[in-house]
Amino acid sequence: MPRRRSLRKVVAPPAFKGFKPYGISSESTDSVDLLYEEYEAIKLADYDLMNHQEASKLMGVSRPTFARIYESARRKIAMALVQTKEIKAVYGNAWLDENWFICAHCNARFSFPANTTEHKCPICKSQEIDPLKK
Ligand SMILES: [Zn+2]
User: Which candidate, 46, 54, 50, places its Cα nearest to that of 74?
Assistant: 46
Burial class of 110 by CB neighbour count within 10 A (0 to 12, 13 to 18, 19+): middle
Interval between CA 102 and ligand 1 midpoint (Å):
8
C-alpha distances in Å from residue 3, one per residue of 6, 7, 39, 76: 9, 12, 24, 25
Domain boundaries, the chain: 30-95, 98-134
To which H or E segment does residue 89 belong? strand 86-90
Q: Give the pTM.
A: 0.72
Q: Domain 30-95: give its CATH code.
A: 1.10.10
pLDDT tens-digit readout, 87-130:
999 888 777 777 788 888 887 777 777 667 778 888 889 999 88
User: Which candidate, 117, 104, 81, 108, places its Cα nearest to that of 12?
Assistant: 108
Interval between CA 109 and ligand 1 midpoint (Å):
8
pLDDT tens-digit readout, 12-69:
888 888 999 988 877 657 899 999 999 999 999 999 999 999 999 988 899 999 999 9
